[in-house]
């Protein structure tokens, strides 16, 4: 299991997409489990399988969205 907290926040777009592709490969080839905490949802769709987020102080679980929006609930950030 790999635990990551905001690991891509200061990366440029190309480096971030390369790292996400690596994560996807590790999950497919090794069966890795990656717990990835982030506020940047762009590019997660290809390998995201489960989603948990905090909404109004409550931990909420959901299926992987087809196209993650700017926030898990798909609404503008407050």
Structural domains for the chain: 2-63 (3.40.50.300)
Please write the tens of the pLDDT for every residue from 3-47. Answer: 999 998 899 989 998 998 898 888 889 998 888 888 887 777 767
Helix ranges restricted to H, the chain: 13-30
17 or 69, greater pLDDT: 17
pLDDT at 45: 74
| Beta bridge mates, 53 | 60
pLDDT of residue 76: 39
pLDDT tens digits, one per residue of 46-68: 677 888 887 788 888 876 555 44
The reported pLDDT for the residue numbered 65 is: 53
């Amino acid at each position: 299991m790999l635990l990551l907290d905001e690991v891509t926040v200061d990366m440029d777009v190309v480096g971030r997409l390369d790292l996400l592709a690596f994560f996807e490969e590790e999950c497919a080839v090794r069966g890795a489990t990656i717990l990835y905490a982030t506020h940047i949802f762009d590019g997660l769709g290809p390998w995201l399988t489960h989603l948990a987020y905090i909404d109004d102080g409550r931990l909420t679980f959901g299926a992987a969205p087809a196209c993650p929006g700017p926030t898990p609930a798909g609404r503008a950030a407050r």
